């Protein structure tokens, strides 16, 4: 086996590992509100979300095309040089995902991936390695920055208006009947968000793997994404989703707004509509920012609801830092991976990735969040005051 083929295999496995972290990192986007309101039991929620993420991954490839050919200016780069860029970018994305999961902050997996890739490309090729502006189908600013700025505000506005309308229309109804009805509605709306998440987020890893295959000359940019890539990415994100990112589910479900079932329904419906629309236009939107904006909007739209602005502030800081910090990690990983231009540097970065990932997992076991305490009352901190009754994954 040649060194280039071995690096390609490492890149593919690393990409699927990123897809897995994307799954458990972003489960909260679809299911946090349904778990918080009791519409779905925690394990049932993540199982349902996993199945629908799997299905959604096969519904579109527009986002994958954007990732594989619309962000990096790498037309003249092939072989080991491009594989090093892709690998370093993936490592940057994974490490940021794991760090934000550890501290319970729902940051964007999409922007972590893009930040890592951009940092690696700039380190390797300079500023010309990134398509900063382009036509309607390309460009960092058009396809990433502008949607990132608009999505949370649009989601908050839509969810806020929807929440206000719901409470206005049901103000004379019995609260218990309203809650029961909207809990049933949440099952459908949360399912739609999960389907949308698969349509949007699994595509990003498909695009990265396809980029690596093009780098080695196995395919060209004009070819269709092969079926095995779609299947592997769909299975990886579904498996990660089923693991359940309980730390982030807790923050979104309990930390930002105290959610009732009508609010949960409004948030999920708004998120699904925006994410599905963006996927059809090939916009690799942050589902995290969209879902967070929707939940924030429900707090603003419900009369008398409390929004914990300190939690929102921490999220906003993480959003601002995601692209540059993931980019710095991606750049550093490229520098190490490219040592000697061959296999050794890649193996060193891979060993560091495994070691840091294991450390973060072990660190998380000091204050585990799981199905037993994910819905405990929020006391301005991730860790519930009550001791967990069981220890499960993530």
Give rounded-to-5 percent helix, strand, coil for the chain. 75, 0, 25
* 392 domain residue, yes or no: no
How many CB atoms neighbour CB 227 within 10 A? 9
- 79 within some domain: yes
Chain segment 320-340, per-residue pLDDT in tens: 999 999 999 999 999 999 887
Is 383 contained in some domain? no
What is the Cα–Cα distance from 328 to 249, expressed in whole angstroms? 27
Instruction: Enter the tokens of residue 384.
Output: 């519930």
pLDDT band for 43, please (50, 70, 90 cuts): very high
Tokens in use for 269? Answer: 């419906």
Spatial separation of the C-alpha atoms in residues 170 and 135, rounded to whole Å: 46
Q: How many domains does the chain have?
A: 1
Residue 344 lies in a domain: yes
284 part of a folded domain: yes
pLDDT (tens digit per residue) in 127-161: 888 888 766 556 777 777 887 888 889 899 999 99
Is 80 exceeded by the pLDDT of residue 189? yes
Whether residue 322 lies inside any domain: the answer is: yes
Give the range of the structural domain holding residue 15, as residue numbers without chain letter.
3-364
User: Measured between alpha carbons, how far is 299 from 373 in angstroms, rounded to an integer?
Assistant: 23
pLDDT in tens, 339-373: 877 789 999 999 999 999 999 999 999 999 988 88
Instruction: Examine residue 306 and state whether it is found in any structural domain, yes or no.
Output: yes
Evaluate if residue 387 carries a pLDDT over 60: no
Percent of the chain with pLDDT over 90: 41
Residue 387: inside a domain: no
Return the residue matching tokens 């660190």: 363
């Amino acid at each position: 086996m040649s060194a280039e083929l071995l690096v390609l295999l490492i890149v593919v496995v690393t990409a699927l590992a990123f897809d897995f972290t994307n799954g458990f990192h972003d489960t909260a986007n679809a299911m946090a509100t349904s778990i918080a309101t009791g519409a779905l039991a925690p394990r049932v929620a993540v199982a349902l979300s996993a199945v629908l993420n799997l299905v959604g991954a096969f519904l579109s490839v527009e986002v994958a095309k954007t990732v594989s050919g619309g962000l990096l200016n790498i037309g003249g780069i092939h072989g080991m040089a491009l594989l090093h860029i892709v690998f370093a970018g993936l490592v940057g994305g994974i490490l940021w995902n794991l760090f934000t999961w550890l501290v319970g902050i729902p940051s964007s997996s999409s922007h972590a991936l893009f930040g890592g890739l951009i940092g690696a490309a700039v380190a390797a090729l300079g500023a010309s390695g990134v398509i900063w502006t382009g036509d309607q189908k390309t460009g960092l600013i058009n396809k990433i920055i502008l949607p990132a700025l608009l999505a949370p505000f649009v989601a908050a506005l839509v969810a806020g208006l929807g929440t206000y309308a719901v409470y206005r229309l049901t103000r004379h109804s019995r609260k218990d009947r309203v809650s029961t009805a909207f809990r049933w509605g949440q099952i459908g709306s949360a399912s739609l968000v999960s389907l949308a998440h698969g349509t949007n987020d699994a595509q990003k890893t498909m695009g990265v793997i396809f980029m690596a295959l093009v780098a080695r000359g196995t395919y060209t940019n004009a070819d269709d994404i092969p079926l095995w890539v779609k299947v592997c990415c769909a299975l990886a994100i579904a498996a990660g989703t089923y693991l359940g990112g309980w730390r982030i589910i807790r923050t979104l479900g309990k930390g930002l707004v105290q959610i009732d079932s009508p609010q949960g329904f409004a948030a999920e419906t708004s998120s699904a509509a925006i994410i599905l629309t963006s996927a059809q236009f090939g916009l690799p939107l942050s589902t995290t920012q969209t879902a967070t904006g929707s939940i924030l909007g429900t707090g603003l739209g419900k009369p008398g609801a409390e929004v914990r602005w300190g939690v929102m502030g921490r999220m906003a800081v993480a959003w601002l830092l995601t692209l540059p910090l993931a980019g710095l990690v991606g750049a550093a990983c490229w520098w190490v991976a490219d040592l000697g231009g061959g296999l050794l540097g890649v193996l060193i970065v891979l060993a560091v990735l495994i070691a840091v990932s294991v450390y973060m997992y072990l660190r998380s076991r000091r204050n585990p969040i799981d199905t037993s305490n994910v819905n405990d009352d929020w006391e301005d901190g991730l860790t519930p005051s009550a001791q967990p009754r069981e220890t499960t994954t993530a």
